[in-house]
Chains A and B, each alone.
Chain A
Amino acid sequence: MIGEKALKGFFKRNGLLLAFAFFLAVTALNAPAFLTVGNILDVLRQVSIVGTIAIGVTFVVITGRFDLSVGSGLTLLTVIVVDQNNIVGPLGAIIMAIFGGLMVGVWNGLLIGYLKFNALIVTLAMLSLLQGLTLWYSGGANVNVHNAQTTWYAFFGRGDLFGVPVPVWILLVGGAIASFALMKTRFGRSVFSVGGNETTSKFSGINAPKIVLFAYIISGFATACAAIIMGSRVMGAQSTIGQGYELNVLAGIILGGTSLLGGSGSIWRTIVGVAMLGFIQNALLLMGFPYYIQWLVTWVVIILAVWIDLAAKRGKILT
């Protein structure tokens, strides 16, 4: 009897993880290729791009806001980093991509933090702007890295370090740094405070607009990092390469259990959420479902995650 309550609490907190473990087991039985080291590393490499962006967007979501511009940000920055590889070389291209990412963050952050514009609208408009800039820059043409086989730029997307793909290292190391910043520093505490209650933060002398601005700058920086990985992996880009990423990022964050209302969440939860989504999509492909099923399943998974989150708050599964 004593254990029952604790057990219930455990299920409530970790219900999603348990369901996921069950899913992994079922898939492994049906698709033998699923739980092989090769496939697992493949999935991790795949989610590293979504995951790297999601780390940045998690800061924004904890302040109680959104960033829908990361998908088209990824497109523009990947096109730039790939194309500039041929013009100014890899180092210059990387610097330009990072600068571009920071600029996107600054603009979003100024409009949303200081001018108090609605985050949904501002980042949706930014999505359109970045898509337009991409087409203007590339003229709609595909771009490629000419010396793809010889450049050191290949390290970020195609390299291995101690048997683990470099993009996965970037995700994990970036995640660790971001997690430290969020959980242990003054800035991280302020992020939670602004998302938890902006008025109280103001009454406590916290500069909420500045915190929001920095959250968006981190989001932009993370997008630039993801673009560098993406460009390096594909060694090419076209104007739809980042399409739909904003949705996958958001789905991963929600799946990890970070509340969209702000004030709570963590980087590790986000990475777990993104990985879960990646494994589910991978499993569906391995089991022979057509590609479009991924989109349908993303819907199911988001609704399920939000439902479980709500149910945990209300204390029961069905109201």
Chain B
Amino acid sequence: MSEVKNVLSLHGISKFFPGVKALDNVSFDIRPGEVHALVGENGAGKSTLMKILAGLYNPDQGNIIHQDKHVKIRNPLEARTRGILLIHQELSLSPELSVAENIYLGAWPTNFFGVLKKRKLNKDSLIALSAMGCDFGPKVRVGSLSIAKRQMVEIARAQAFNANVVIFDEPTASLTDTEKEQLFNTIRELKARDVGIVYISHKMDEIFEIADRITVLRDGTVQGTVHTKDTNINLITKMMIGRELNTFFTRANSEIGSEVLRVEKLCRKGEFENVSFSIKSGEVLGLYGLIGAGRSEVAETIFGVRKADSGKIAWMEKEINFPTPRQAIDMGLCLAPESRKEQGLVLNMSGKNNVTLPHLVKYSNYTVMDWRRELATFEKYREVLDIKTTGADQEVVQLSGGNQQKFVLAKWLCNEPDLLILDEPTRGIDVGSKSAIHALIAGLAEQGLAVIVISSEMPEVLGVSHRILTMSEGRLNGEFSGMEMTESNLINAVSQHLEQTA
């Protein structure tokens, strides 16, 4: 190691969030002229690490050494001044400005009076663009370019600012095959100029095509760094998910009853197509897929927050019209949405009022709220779910993620639903609350509830489900039950489809 010089290295980086250790003693280095891939499941700590490199987060412990100097990267501007550039998954360009203006965004060359030196701006940008082999000029409005070309504009910043480290976050997510090849050529060019590259992706085939070394993260710790030529997809996958299962999880031991919900050929343009499945009472159905696969969109369409373009839905074996959220709740179909802060809770409302919010009619007499019954329900679920709160009037904004999530659950459980859809029920919450929620899911199924668990955490899906559907790019592409429910089957199902369409 010592004979190779690193352009950037991290030593013993830790980062804590309330209740979660996002990164635990992580060490990671980037050499000039190499592509270093960073892989791991969702929640493994990749994005936290990336945000530390880009100056968006500050680490709680550890050192960063950049070009042989101890440094602190306090904000994104500082990262850029040091030559560390992050290419976001969602691009950070202003569509109304020209290519040149975007390349130098925030660092425009101006004269004494603050007037933009347009000629210099365009000339410098042209140099950067042509070095990357771009076929468009600096004066074009960014909004008129394709996604791939916009990405080139971002990368041109690397050229313009003489970057020495460039971080790519899922860069091929919205690119076609040829565009991907073009991107890889650009990456190779950056490599040839001794730029250190961090490449974050879920797509194994790409990683093995472009990366020199691979670092695997799991649960905020580094599982190992290996040379690409010394390893293979299976080994990497094992490092990513190799955790002992069945220790945390309790699978419901329930009697599977009659069909509760069936959807057929559900379509919503641009989001998902031909989604068909059914679920029976007492069953826990896992829905596995990466973020952006269309899982939440399917759930929200069934619940009525989004409108289906076409398809059929049957409830209790009777075909019905697609419900509104109100109708869904009243017939016993509930959705605990993906984002508890934006969709699940009214943060500046009390816990009690959040719990009864979807059931105002039930908890009122002639439109006047019955606070005694509200309080009784609150106290009941506070005890059942072991919610830590100072009382019925405490605003939920003051609670930890785990306790907030329990309030989201209480909100739906007090309706005694027949089908509960849980979208990422344990994201970002501590281990204790996590296993409490897993046990709760099992308990509910044993009482005859049908539960759909949407998750991008494979151990969770494998641990709690009776049956698993896999989804990628808006389609269901696999169904597994019993002995077929294995990590490799799920990974294969999800990535197989990626390869077909790539």
The answer to whether A and B interact is yes
Can you sample 16 A-B contacts with CB below 8 Å? A184-B368, A184-B369, A187-B367, A190-B360, A197-B342, A197-B345, A199-B342, A200-B346, A203-B335, A203-B343, A203-B344, A204-B357, A204-B411, A205-B325, A205-B328, A206-B326
CA A184 to CA B346, docked complex, whole Å: 18
Minimum C-beta distance from A180 to chain B (A): 8
A-chain residues with CB within 8 Å of residue B369 when the two chains form the complex:
184-186, 189
CA A196 to CA B361, docked complex, whole Å: 20
Select from chain A the residue with minimum beta-carbon distance to B324. A205
Q: Is the CB of B346 within 8 A of A202?
A: no
CA A185 to CA B365, docked complex, whole Å: 9
A sample of 5 more A-B contacts (CB under 8 A), given A204-B357, A205-B324, A205-B325, is A185-B364, A189-B353, A200-B345, A205-B329, A264-B348
Q: Is the CB of A185 within 8 A of B368?
A: yes
CA A101 to CA B56, docked complex, whole Å: 51
Q: Is the CB of B343 within 8 A of A207?
A: no
**A186, A193, A200, A202: residue with the most chain B Cβ atoms closer than 10 Å:** A200
Minimum C-beta distance from A187 to chain B (A): 7
Which of B322-351 touch A at CB < 8 Å? Answer: 324-326, 328-330, 335, 337, 342-349
Question: With A201-B346, A203-B344 known to touch, is A185 a contact of B367 (CB < 8 Å)?
Answer: yes
Minimum C-beta distance from B336 to chain A (A): 9
The listed residue (A184, A196, A199, A205) touching B349 by CB distance below 8 A is A196
B-chain residues with CB within 8 Å of residue A184 when the two chains form the complex:
368-369
Query: B358 at interface (Cβ–Cβ under 8 A)?
Result: yes
Q: Is the CB of B364 within 8 A of A186?
A: yes
Minimum C-beta distance from B134 to chain A (A): 39
CA A37 to CA B337, docked complex, whole Å: 57
Which of A259-277 touch B at CB < 8 Å? Answer: 263-264
Chain B residues bordering chain A, tally (CB within 8 A): 28
Query: B376 at interface (Cβ–Cβ under 8 A)?
Result: no
The listed residue (A190, A196, A202) touching B325 by CB distance below 8 A is A202
The listed residue (B303, B344, B360) touching A200 by CB distance below 8 A is B344
Select from chain A the residue with minimum beta-carbon distance to B360. A186
Query: A153 at interface (Cβ–Cβ under 8 A)?
Result: no
Minimum C-beta distance from A64 to chain B (A): 12
Interface of B toward A, CB cutoff 8 Å: 303, 305, 324-326, 328-330, 335, 337, 342-349, 353, 357-358, 360-361, 364, 367-369, 411
A-chain residues with CB within 8 Å of residue B353 when the two chains form the complex:
189, 192-193
Minimum C-beta distance from A19 to chain B (A): 26
B-chain residues with CB within 8 Å of residue A200 when the two chains form the complex:
342-346, 357
Q: Is the CB of B367 within 8 A of A205?
A: no
Minimum C-beta distance from A258 to chain B (A): 13
**A185, A190, A203, A207: residue with the most chain B Cβ atoms closer than 10 Å:** A203
Which of A21-74 touch B at CB < 8 Å? Answer: none
CA A263 to CA B350, docked complex, whole Å: 12
B-chain residues with CB within 8 Å of residue A197 when the two chains form the complex:
342, 345-347
Q: Is the CB of B337 within 8 A of A203?
A: yes
Q: Is the CB of B368 within 8 A of A189?
A: no
Select from chain B the residue with minimum beta-carbon distance to A192. B349
Interface of A toward B, CB cutoff 8 Å: 184-187, 189-190, 192-193, 196-197, 199-207, 263-264
Pairs A-B, 9 closest by C-beta atoms: A196-B346, A205-B326, A204-B358, A205-B325, A197-B346, A186-B360, A205-B329, A204-B357, A185-B367
Q: Is the CB of B368 within 8 A of A196?
A: no
A-chain residues with CB within 8 Å of residue B346 when the two chains form the complex:
192-193, 196-197, 200-201, 263
CA A10 to CA B318, docked complex, whole Å: 59
Q: Is the CB of A189 within 8 A of B357?
A: yes
The listed residue (B305, B347, B349) touching A203 by CB distance below 8 A is B305
Minimum C-beta distance from B223 to chain A (A): 37
Select from chain A the residue with minimum beta-carbon distance to B415. A205
**B305, B328, B335, B358: residue with the most chain A Cβ atoms closer than 10 Å:** B358
CA A185 to CA B353, docked complex, whole Å: 12
CA A189 to CA B374, docked complex, whole Å: 13
B-chain residues with CB within 8 Å of residue A264 when the two chains form the complex:
348
Minimum C-beta distance from B74 to chain A (A): 19
A-chain residues with CB within 8 Å of residue B325 when the two chains form the complex:
202-205
A-chain residues with CB within 8 Å of residue B357 when the two chains form the complex:
189, 193, 200-201, 204, 206
B-chain residues with CB within 8 Å of residue A185 when the two chains form the complex:
364, 367-369
CA A8 to CA B353, docked complex, whole Å: 29
B-chain residues with CB within 8 Å of residue A189 when the two chains form the complex:
353, 357, 360, 369
Minimum C-beta distance from B339 to chain A (A): 9
**B348, B357, B360: residue with the most chain A Cβ atoms closer than 10 Å:** B357
Minimum C-beta distance from B99 to chain A (A): 32
A-chain residues with CB within 8 Å of residue B324 when the two chains form the complex:
205
Minimum C-beta distance from A218 to chain B (A): 15
B-chain residues with CB within 8 Å of residue A206 when the two chains form the complex:
326, 357-358, 360
CA A185 to CA B370, docked complex, whole Å: 9
A-chain residues with CB within 8 Å of residue B305 when the two chains form the complex:
202-203
Q: Is the CB of B326 within 8 A of A186?
A: no
CA A263 to CA B357, docked complex, whole Å: 14
CA A189 to CA B229, docked complex, whole Å: 62
Q: Is the CB of B347 within 8 A of A186?
A: no
B-chain residues with CB within 8 Å of residue A263 when the two chains form the complex:
346, 348-349
CA A204 to CA B360, docked complex, whole Å: 10
Minimum C-beta distance from B482 to chain A (A): 34
**A190, A197, A201, A206: residue with the most chain B Cβ atoms closer than 10 Å:** A197
CA A205 to CA B331, docked complex, whole Å: 12
Select from chain B the residue with minimum beta-carbon distance to A262. B348
Minimum C-beta distance from B415 to chain A (A): 10
A-chain residues with CB within 8 Å of residue B361 when the two chains form the complex:
186
CA A203 to CA B346, docked complex, whole Å: 11
B-chain residues with CB within 8 Å of residue A192 when the two chains form the complex:
346, 349, 353
Minimum C-beta distance from B454 to chain A (A): 15
Q: Is the CB of B337 within 8 A of A196?
A: no
Minimum C-beta distance from B1 to chain A (A): 47
A-chain residues with CB within 8 Å of residue B358 when the two chains form the complex:
204-206
Q: Is the CB of B348 within 8 A of A199?
A: no
Q: Is the CB of B347 within 8 A of A196?
A: yes
CA A185 to CA B337, docked complex, whole Å: 26
Minimum C-beta distance from B371 to chain A (A): 8
CA A42 to CA B329, docked complex, whole Å: 52
CA A184 to CA B367, docked complex, whole Å: 9
B-chain residues with CB within 8 Å of residue A199 when the two chains form the complex:
342-343
CA A190 to CA B356, docked complex, whole Å: 11
Minimum C-beta distance from A222 to chain B (A): 20
A-chain residues with CB within 8 Å of residue B368 when the two chains form the complex:
184-186
